[in-house]
């Protein structure tokens, strides 16, 4: 029987810096999406990037912390 090993990641989608955006990049993103829900747009972009990297959403804690897992990269 093969045992799978997993990597885990917690992403705080309420904090653009934890998603990999610098403060100047965040301000630029906010300006580009002025009048829109820029946080929701940024969150969706980040979730899609993680999915492309093999991360699967496991659960959400409230409205901003999302837990991901993927098979361990060897």
Triad 71, 68, 54: Cα angle to 5°: 45
- Residue 50 lies inside a defined structural domain of this protein: yes
Q: Which two tokens stand for residue 10?
A: 């917690």
Query: Sign of torsion, CA 4 8 48 25?
Result: negative
Full residue range of the structural domain in which residue 45 is found = 6-71
Q: What is the Cα–Cα distance from 52 to 5, expressed in whole angstroms?
A: 19
At 36-63, the pLDDT tens digits run 998 889 889 989 999 999 999 999 887 6
Average pLDDT, the chain: 88
- Residue 34 lies inside a defined structural domain of this protein: yes
Q: What is the Cα–Cα distance from 62 to 25, expressed in whole angstroms?
A: 26
Which pLDDT score, from 0 to 100, does residue 12 have? 86
- Residue 1 lies inside a defined structural domain of this protein: no
Structurally, the chain folds into a number of domains equal to 1
- Residue 67 lies inside a defined structural domain of this protein: yes
């Amino acid at each position: 029987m093969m045992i799978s090993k997993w990597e885990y990641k917690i992403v705080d989608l309420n904090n653009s810096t934890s998603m990999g955006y610098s403060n100047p990049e965040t301000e630029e993103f906010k300006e580009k999406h002025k009048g829109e829900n820029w946080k929701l747009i940024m969150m969706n972009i980040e979730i899609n990037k993680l999915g492309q990297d093999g991360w699967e959403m496991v659960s959400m804690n409230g409205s901003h912390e999302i837990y991901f897992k993927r098979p361990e990269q060897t």
